[in-house]
Structure 1
Amino acid sequence: MKIGIANDMPLAVEALRQAIATRPGHRVLWVAANGEEAVQFCAAQVPDVILMDLVMPKLDGVEATRQIMARSPCPILIVTSSVGANAWRVYEAMGAGALDAVDTPTLAGPDTRRTMDLLLAKIEQIGRVSGALDFTARAPAAAVPGMPKAPLVAIGASAGGPGALAAVLGALPASFGASIVIVQHVDQSFAAGMAAWLDGQTPLTVRIALEGEQPAPGCVLLAATNDHLRMTAGGKLAYTREPADTPYRPSVDTFFHSLVERWTGEAIGVLLTGMGRDGAIGLKAMRAKGWHTIAQDEATSAVYGMPKAAAALFAARAILPLGAIAPELASRVKSPHQSAG
């Protein structure tokens, strides 16, 4: 993989170079000493992934990410001295289009190997995601009687997702009558913090999804582990490692397909901004079942990958700008017996 580094700290750059040098298939394409240089270098030579620091002169990592995703989009991994201490900036960067975040590896000490291995694992995961192929759709199983009939809104998102999710959830009324389940491509170490952050953006209650719980109206549940979230035959949520070979963890497709197989109530599928194709086939299966399906439009997507794939498959009944998605959901949930046609 060709890797760009955006970091103004020489010791951090050296640690990144040493980690990258341990993998024969990786090479450093360029090093930018600030966010402005990163934007310029990326426009001239687009790497397979950028290792983006958060705090830099001229342009910080959040604004550099935003400009790169607008001009010459590519996968971006936030690499910062402490992800925990910079959590809100990490969420801002992910809202601008970054895919994931990791602590800067150390050059010396007992944690050197571990921190370098974690960085390399994140780089390789991003490489698999950005070049991933479609997943095979599974045939729907028979419906199980006794399933709760309250509407369920299933939302999938990836790069740029936190900001898009905040916009959608923030525009929904406190009286919104559907349950909401979100699958956002995010490492489990950030899920609880992201749920807390989203909870502050909306009148609804947002928290992480727990094993065995049932979605409830007015509550937003966020997939919270590196395993996949799925719906079970009893209308309860569960986590599963299978399919083990999917590059997206958690996978939007896996959750959408489980709804098609197991959920007998009303459902609406929404696919927001994101890199890759995850969720497009699952959204197509939801539409085929007769449910209403929505994809974010190109103009308002930080990364027009997942919704573009859905549009190409005619998986979305409605392709909407970000600001129109919440009103569409509110309108449909107010009239649950209205035809999704």
Structure 2
Amino acid sequence: MKNSAPIRVFLVEDSLVALTILKRILASSLEVDVVGTAPNGVEALERIPAAQPQVICTDLHMPKMDGLELTRRIMTDYPRPILVISTSVNTQEDSRNVFKLLQAGALDVFPKPNIDSLSDYEHIKHELINRIKVLAGVTVFTRHTSRTATVEPRTHPVSPKKKPEPFSPKPVSNSQFSIRNSPSLPKIVAIGASTGGPQALYAILKQLPANFPVPILCVQHISEGFLQGLVDWLAAECFLRVTIAQPGEFPKPGTVYFAPERQHLQLDTQGRLSTISTPAVSGHRPSVTALFQAVATCYPRSAVGILLTGMGRDGADGLQAIAQAGGTTIAQDEQTCVVFGMPKEAIALGAAQHILAIGEIAPMLLNRICYINSRHS
């Protein structure tokens, strides 16, 4: 059998040191071919058409044209899967800007390797190349037309069906909703996501009002150093309070709690948040399955579990645990997933009671938990 052609990758990076390290890492793999580089967005736009890349890797901060404007231009004129390779920033403004690239159409973020990090070279190489391989199989499209990318992905698209245009959530106000009162209604929502998760979470959380009457617990698989940026971005974009979970706190309504980096998010016997560093579950820490199982135990018959886009099967067994405990379970549908892996595994188990497009998930939560005031209908 003839080997598949290597994935064509274009690098946009103004730091010569970082560019050299990235090229060295990618050159070590027969599965990847660096077909071009550029030191800024302006030159990248000039060179990309001739290079015909399948995946574009870009930094955030660059002269002449930064990564955010470049991403917008690529997604409008020349749509390709984009991986943001950036330092894990410490300022709130920079951390939000990294995730604005995802909002603009980039698919994932990865920490920029430096000389100090090369002691972990094999791990970085494995993670970066694996991330590129996943993105190479994703079908992307323009932001303003239905035209799909003109270059066929190296692997089969994650979904064989044409993907819809990006979902643009409509923000809501508290006045549109009143709270239901019933002991049988859900008392907590748990969400798990991986690749494509930040965009999917944004699409859901943006539609929920500040007075959403139950807490939301989240596990997002994300490169180390980027979690705070994700939290800051969502907090700035949504009405809900968004924070990283702190042990000992009782989950509050209208608040989104993210599992900390390298720790599972759990609930103790009193229903308080707990974080633990026990071994990985389903290959991950934090693990979606670990969270879902804890929620199923603490909130039998009154939890909603939502499994979003991502590679692998983390969360599938946990979603089944919520269903078996009498809760409500939702899996994102294939057409709106960036990677239809985790939801697919849950569906195969029979764990998903509802299979919904990303734009349908928040309305279902609102209809289950809140009354929609008729004057706003």
- TM-score by length of structure 1 reads 0.72
Tell me, what secondary structure is at the counterpart of 2:117? helix
CA contact (8 A) 2:190 2:292 kept: yes
Picking from 188, 201, 221, the partner of 1:152 is 188
Picking from 251, 267, 281, the partner of 2:303 is 267
- When structure 1 is superposed on structure 2, of 29-38 and 169-178 the one drifting more is 29-38
Matches within 5 A, 1:294-313: 294-313=330-349
CA contact (8 A) 1:187 1:226 kept: no
Q: Would you say 1:80 and 2:58 are equivalent positions? A: no
Q: Which residue of 2 aligns with 1:217?
A: 253
CA contact (8 A) 1:182 1:221 kept: yes
Structure 1 residue 188, shift from structure 2 partner: 4.8
Q: Which residue of 1 aligns with 2:225?
A: 189
| Counterpart residue type for residue 341 of structure 2 | G
| Percent of residue pairs bearing the same amino acid type | 35
Q: Would you say 1:7 and 2:44 are equivalent positions? A: no
Structure 2 CA distance, aligned partners of 1:325 and 1:315? 16
Structure 2 CA distance, aligned partners of 1:18 and 1:301? 32
C-alpha RMSD over aligned residues: 3.7
Q: Would you say 1:230 and 2:238 are equivalent positions? A: no
Assess, with a 3 A threshold, how the Cα gap between structure 1 residues 210 and 255 changes in structure 2: closer, same or farther: same
Q: Deviations over 1:87-143 (max 9, x none)?
A: 2342134554644421342xxxxxx2x233466534434678989xxxxxxxxxxxx
Q: Which residue of 1 aligns with 2:123?
A: 121
Assess, with a 3 A threshold, how the Cα gap between structure 1 residues 3 and 252 changes in structure 2: closer, same or farther: farther
Structure 1 CA distance, aligned partners of 2:120 and 2:49? 23
Picking from 240, 249, 252, the partner of 1:204 is 240
Structure 2 CA distance, aligned partners of 1:65 and 1:157? 25
Structure 2 CA distance, aligned partners of 1:65 and 1:227? 36
Q: Deviations over 1:237-288 (max 9, x none)?
A: 2222222375333211111122223434610001122222221221122112
Structure 1 residue 51, shift from structure 2 partner: 5.0
Q: Deviations over 1:279-305 (max 9, x none)?
A: 122112211222111111222223322
Assess, with a 3 A threshold, how the Cα gap between structure 1 residues 187 and 120 changes in structure 2: closer, same or farther: same
Picking from 325, 331, 340, the partner of 2:361 is 325
Structure 2 CA distance, aligned partners of 1:39 and 1:195? 38
CA contact (8 A) 1:284 1:316 kept: yes
Which residues of structure 2 form unaligned runs of 5+?
Answer: 1-5, 38-43, 135-184, 372-377
CA contact (8 A) 1:273 1:296 kept: yes
Q: Which residue of 1 aligns with 2:110?
A: 101
Q: Which residue of 1 aligns with 2:99?
A: 91
Structure 1 residue 3, shift from structure 2 partner: 8.9
Structure 1 residue 55, shift from structure 2 partner: 6.0
| Counterpart residue type for residue 29 of structure 1 | D
Q: Would you say 1:289 and 2:325 are equivalent positions? A: yes
Tell me, what secondary structure is at the counterpart of 1:233? coil
CA contact (8 A) 2:26 2:125 kept: no
Structure 2 CA distance, aligned partners of 1:311 and 1:186? 23
Structure 1 residue 84, shift from structure 2 partner: 4.3
Structure 1 CA distance, aligned partners of 2:299 and 2:274? 13
Assess, with a 3 A threshold, how the Cα gap between structure 1 residues 81 and 270 changes in structure 2: closer, same or farther: closer
Structure 1 CA distance, aligned partners of 2:75 and 2:120? 25
Tell me, what secondary structure is at the counterpart of 1:256? helix
Q: Deviations over 1:13-56 (max 9, x none)?
A: 222234567xx77775224323773997554xx8xxx7543468
Assess, with a 3 A threshold, how the Cα gap between structure 1 residues 184 and 127 changes in structure 2: closer, same or farther: same
Q: Which residue of 2 aligns with 1:37?
A: 48
- TM-score by length of structure 2 reads 0.66
Structure 1 CA distance, aligned partners of 2:325 and 2:123? 37
Tell me, what secondary structure is at the counterpart of 1:200? helix
| Counterpart residue type for residue 230 of structure 2 | M
Structure 1 CA distance, aligned partners of 2:251 and 2:327? 18
Tell me, what secondary structure is at the counterpart of 1:29? strand
Assess, with a 3 A threshold, how the Cα gap between structure 1 residues 296 and 39 changes in structure 2: closer, same or farther: farther
Assess, with a 3 A threshold, how the Cα gap between structure 1 residues 240 and 25 changes in structure 2: closer, same or farther: farther
